[in-house]
Structure 1
Amino acid sequence: MQRFAEGLSRDQLLWVGGYLTGIGNAANAQGISDGVDEHVTILFGTETGNAKRLAEALATKARISGVQANLQDMLTYSRARMRQDRILLVIVSTHGDGDPPDTARALHTLLTGSQVPDLRHLRFSVLALGDASYPRFCQVGKEFDTALAAAGARRLLPRVDCDVDYEERATHWMEQALAAVTARPPTPLPTSILGKGRFGQTSFPATLVEKIKLSGHGSSREVWHLEIDLNGSGLHYVPGDIVSVNPTNPPQLVEALLDRFKLDHRTPVQTRHGEIPLMEALAAHYEITKLTRPFLERYASLGNAKELRSVLAEQDINRFISWIDGREIIDIVDQYPVDAPDAQAFVDCLRPLPPRRYSIASSLMAAPGEVHLVVAAVRYASHGREHMGVASTFLADRVAVGRPVPISIESNAEFRLPADPEQAVIMIGAGTGVAPFRAFLQEREALGATGGNWLFFGDRHFSTDFLYQREWLRWLKDGHLTRMDVAFSRDQEHKVYVQDRLRARAGDMYAWLEEGAAVYVCGAEAMGRSVQRTLVEIIQLSGRTSEQAEEYILELKQAGRYHRDVY
């Protein structure tokens, strides 16, 4: 501002001063108070973007309330800044069963380590996001809350834990947090500020126009390529984004639950969608497969389920994880029968049926008006029953070509191609985790991007599980795919995975990184962890220590050159 003012005449300075004063008066006239002199840091750690969206909504509301809010990603939050802040509002997700998001790892390590700064000057509150189907529900939020208090910080509000239907609890926490900061009564958050979460998205009944089985005859997996028509939807996406599918539950499972409790499928029940028949509620609106601790607690309270209560009282989390593994709600109903509840009592035990998220496998530039998905149908036997994935079998079995699929698009800003078409990319995917890289190659080809493209792909067998083999080979032949390394784990006695291929190419990998390549990892969470460990090993081969290699990875993340989409 001072440099700007130096070039102005006296009359120009007076005009600018009056103009800025007018803006300030207009802001006050719109209800923006300047009577609060609080500086608040809103700190977020996110994997899928939900924590970031909530943090942005809170920052907007804070500024409207006259609070000076600083929005801060955990990835770039420093020890020095922590010593300066006086009020900290933390929104952090738990990834998988108890892991911090990538962007939160360094700060999590700092606060839970041995060199924790003195935080007695700080007031804080934590909003924890998670998925109650994981035994370590909201574990990272709990650990941040405990660590901040142990370092001397004082709680402004108690921690709030949110399941996948987080909107209502998150909104309440935001209102209470701002009320505590401003010493004013809570005021409702405008819906437009909060935005749309997973349950706020309006789905569009897009038509399935193609379904092709990708896995070959004899494969131990069943993988489908799906093409969905977006015409008339108004939906738009870019490579890296996510399709959310709103599935229905398997009909045979709905019938089994109705039969166990001898409930009439026509019985009306009250839901967030109003009063609807029980069968419709169980088929389309409630989770009736995955177990969560809240379900188990509510179900146990329906009757004299002493054995189930003893399981819930288990203090050893690993034993509880072992017990819950492979079980679904129907298994609990069979193993721990309770007196037949009425329909409403049973529905009230359940959580809403969340949409299922799939990485997009296409580019609109290559497939105008369409979105493509790669889906592995989940089927397995456990505890004497056949189990099936809700959305994967919905798409594989219950939606025919020509029929609608209710979908919405989720932006995934953390998994974007480089803006510079000359920048090289290294893509590491296993199984259906290769989906976004097909979209990347389609987009890079359509744009005429000149940066190198290197793909590492892993699956079980070359002959049956080489997903999109012809497309990769065509791209290799015409030069759009610079290099490709594959790992088929079960084609030899000693299993080989993508991380083994990374080690074998360590020198070239490091050279690409030093030349500015961006790295993308997509696949199962265990694979993502193993790949990261391997990258650290590769960087250590350059002469760095383990700590320096970890710092190198952190610098890649901060520079927007290391991206993960793991599940």
Structure 2
Amino acid sequence: MTAAPLSLLSEDKQQLANRLAEGLDAPSLHWLSGYLAGLAALRPIGKAAGNESAPRKAVDAQARLTVLYGSQTGNAKRVAEQLAERATAAGLEVRLLRADAYPLQELKKERLLYAVVSTHSTGNEVEPPDDSRGFFEHLESRRAPRLPELSYAVLALGDTSYPDFCGIGRRLDERLSALGATSLFARGEADVDIETVATPWADNALEQARTLLKLAPGQPSPVPTSGVVTPLHPARQAWSRQHPFHAEVLANQRIVASDSGKDVRHIELSLEGSGLTYQPGDALGVWPTQSPTLVDAVLATLGLDGNREVDFNDERLPLQQWLGQRRELTGLTRPFLIAHAERGDHAALKALLQPDARAELGALLDGTPLLDLLRRYPTAWDADALVAALRPLAPRMYSIASSLKQVENEVHLTVDRLHYRSDGEERWGVASHHLSALDEGDTVPVFIEANDRFRLPAEPSRDIIMIGPGTGVAPFRAFVQERAAAGASGRNWLFFGNPYRRTDFLYQLEWQQALRNGTLSRLDVAFSRDQADKVYVQDRLREQGRELWAWLQQGAHLYVCGDANRMAPDVHATLLDIAVAHGGKSHEDAETWLRSLLDEGRYVRDVY
């Protein structure tokens, strides 16, 4: 074959590129282009490499700070970017890398490494984020080098409502130490109110980096505690997690039947005048407000006055406002459970906090609302102590269910209102309950959370396979809209599941119309309760295994969105079975194949 002219390359490099491409089929060429693009992302954009008239300055590892992140939902990426920006503004030489872009052969040369990593949960196991699996496998293998000259620090992100809090960050810290690296200071462990821990950790990290890298006199000092610097990306949007945009509600429509056991809403919000933009795959962060009914119930149970003024962290608010707008009141966390057990001297709760009661603790944290704990284990709390002990309210992230190419200045969400009964009373999820109660004309504070890994293929001719039961279908509505608006030629195959076809078929008319006009190529559905034997999306995957395998062999991208505890592990196991049954692979080879899809970005998950 003869490649197109490569004007940026010298003649000998053009010949090398032609030889490399010789004999490769289209999927292989697509993979190679992505691989080379990944290498390019690690190098600064400038004049062509090899041009001796414009040599590129080499940076000695001893004079550089590397900031590495592993992120499943975007939080670790955001914190790492902020740290890199502050370090750059302080005059340090910095490189910021996602874990799957880190050149593993350079690890033994690294001298100063700051890692920000989240803990991801699927099923009963905690795992590294998908973008960090290869890095962890290398680091924990026999191939990992000794690192006696490396100084490092780890910021671990997690959620104290899960028993293994910050487990992945702890693994990373312990492994680096075991390889001989020197920890500069104690590991940071941040709950969902990330900045409470991340900001002082970053302040310490910057001071240490300044000392170790011997920043020259006269260069700017690190910004102290605020972390506010001139951004590296001047076009970054003004609205943010800390400064949300108040979006007007345009529509709030129930999209399941009135007799459904679910309450799923399609919500449309206006971004008019905000300048906010997003891509399919991104999430919308929503700052919720607690239900006044729940706030009153907590106050009544503890016998506290909601009008009592409380001072905390240089802010003075009535207790009722603290509970309604600033504190988590629905789920339990381990720190609050510890404080409650000690304050009330509850032997039964203390027993659950012992190392041998991890399963029982997990069941309590997962299945007991805060209000029920307060009622079952009466304890005297004063207003100040309660505000200090409760976890700060955090925003909730919702997969965006629309494409800007179709809806312009709007953003759409698919929200399943979490509600159930406990102790004879109704309980609910804070954000889904808040959103579901909004009327047209109301406003809600929001911001965009980018998800760079959950993206459509760069090549519009690529096929995509989307697996999204329940509200996991939300980003795939955005995918189909985007591909239709862009005129993408690749095929789109959707797997959707829910309990009942008649009551729970989300966006049924839209999918049927998409099938008719060709913007959706295939649709396979699984309604688990419509027959005696339950049928789930993984069963449909197995039924279509031969065709699914063919699509993947032809270069299709595979996306999974939804439940992390059961659905995602079951789908993963089914994909392995398909590789064995239709690809003739051993189970070990199937694991390697599926891991390669993850590493290439052709198998991506947005699970929660």
Interval of TM-score (by shorter of Structure 1 and Structure 2): 0.7 to 0.9
Distance in 2, matches of 1:332 and 1:509, equals: 47
**What is the correspondence of 1:293-304 to structure 2 with a 5 Å cutoff?**
293-304=334-345
1:381 to partner: Cα distance: 2.4
CA shift, 1:99, in A, is 2.6
Which of 143, 148, 163 is the aligned partner of 2:171?
143
Q: Which residue of 119, 123, 133 maps to 2:161?
A: 133
Deviation at 1:378, TM superposition (A): 0.9
1:214 has 2:255 as partner? yes
Displacement of 1:500? 1.5
Q: Distance in 1 between matches of 2:338 and 2:207?
A: 32
Using the TM superposition, give the Cα deviation of residue 223 of structure 1 relative to its aligned residue in structure 2, in angstroms. 1.1
What SS class does the counterpart of residue 192 from structure 1 fall into? coil
Counterpart code for 1:521: V
Map 1:169-248 → 2, pairs under 5 A? 169-183=197-211, 187-188=222-223, 190-192=227-229, 200-248=241-289
Query: Aligned partners of 2:140 and 2:458: how far apart in 1?
Result: 36
Residue 387 of structure 1 is aligned with which of 415, 423, 427? 427
Change (3 A) 1:224 1:65: closer
Q: 1:550 to 1:82 in 2, by over 3 A?
A: farther
Moved more, 474-483 or 115-124: 115-124
Q: Secondary structure at the match of 2:272?
A: coil
Matches within 5 A, 1:128-527: 128-183=156-211, 187-188=222-223, 190-192=227-229, 200-271=241-312, 274-339=315-380, 341-396=381-436, 398-525=437-564, 526-527=566-567
Q: Look up the match of 1:82.
A: 107
Matched, 1:531 2:571: yes
Residues 463-503 of structure 1: per-residue CA shift (max 9 Å, x gap):
11111111111111111111111111111222211111112
Q: Which residue of 2 aligns with 1:12?
A: none
Say if 1:164 and 1:198, in contact at 8 Å, map to a contact too: no
Q: 1:52 maps to which residue?
A: 77
Is the CA contact 1:198–1:354 (under 8 Å) kept in the aligned structure 2?
Answer: no
**Residue 178 of structure 1: CA displacement?**
3.6
* 1:137 partner SS: coil
**Are the counterparts in 1 of residues 162 and 333 from structure 2 also a CA contact under 8 Å?**
yes
Letter in 2 for 1:157: F
Change (3 A) 1:355 1:264: same
Q: Who is 1:31 aligned against?
A: none
Structure 1 residues 506, 387: CA separation in 2 closer, same or farther (over 3 Å shift)?
Answer: same
Alpha-carbon distance in 2 for matches of 1:501, 1:87: 48
User: Residues 255, 153 of structure 1: CA spacing in aligned structure 2 closer, same or farther, 3 A cutoff?
Assistant: same
* Runs of at least 5 residues in structure 2 that lack an aligned partner in the other structure: 1-46, 215-220
Q: CA deviation at 1:155?
A: 1.7
Matched position secondary structure for 1:256: helix
Q: Distance in 1 between matches of 2:407 and 2:90?
A: 45
The 1-side partners of 2:488 and 2:555 are apart by: 15
Q: What is the DSSP-based 3-state SS (H/G/I as helix, E as strand, rest coil) of the residue aligned with 1:565?
A: strand
Larger displacement relative to structure 2 (426-435 or 66-75): 66-75
Q: Deviations over 1:351-380 (max 9, x none)?
A: 111111111111222222222111111111
CA distance in 2, matches of 1:470, 1:232: 31
Aligned-pair CA distance for 1:242: 1.1
Determine the C-alpha separation between the residues in 2 that align with 1:332 and 1:371. 37
Q: 1 CA distance for matches of 2:202 and 2:253?
A: 46
Please give the root-mean-square deviation of Cα atoms over the aligned residues, in Å: 3.0
Say whether the 8 Å CA contact 2:252–2:438 is kept in structure 1: no
Number of aligned positions between the proteins: 544
- Alignment partners' CA distance in 1, 2:424 and 2:172: 40
Distance 1:61 1:547, change over 3 A: farther
Corresponding residue for residue 122 of structure 1: 150
Take 2:315 and 2:135, find their aligned partners in 1: how far apart are those partners? 43
Partner Cα distance (2:570, 2:456) in 1:
23
1:197: how far off?
13
Q: Secondary structure at the match of 2:583?
A: coil
Higher mean displacement: 94-103 or 303-312: 303-312
Kindly state the Cα deviation for residue 254 of structure 1 after the two structures are TM-superposed. Answer: 0.6
Q: Offset at 1:539?
A: 2.5
Identify the range of structure 1 (198-207 vs 38-47) with the bigger mean alpha-carbon deviation. Answer: 198-207
Task: Using the TM superposition, give the Cα deviation of residue 454 of structure 1 relative to its aligned residue in structure 2, in angstroms.
Answer: 0.7
Counterparts in 2 of 1:35 and 1:557: CA distance versus 1, 3 Å = closer
Question: Any conservation in 2 of the 1:363–1:443 contact (CA below 8 Å)?
Answer: yes
Q: CA deviation at 1:111?
A: 4.0
Unaligned segments of structure 1, at least 5 residues: 9-15, 25-33
Deviation at 1:196, TM superposition (A): 10
Tell me how far apart the structure 2 counterparts of residues 542 and 531 of structure 1 sit (CA, whole Å).
17
CA distance in 1, matches of 2:400, 2:352: 40
Which whole-Å CA distance do the structure 1 matches of 2:141 and 2:238 have between them?
Answer: 33
Cα deviation, residue 118, structure 1: 3.5
For the 8 Å contact 1:43–1:72, the answer to whether it is kept is yes
Residue identity opposite 2:176 in structure 1? L
Identity of aligned residues (%): 43
Q: Within 2, Cα distance between the matches of 1:35 and 1:101? A: 29
Q: Are the aligned partners of 2:414 and 2:471 in contact in 1 as well (CA < 8 Å)?
A: yes
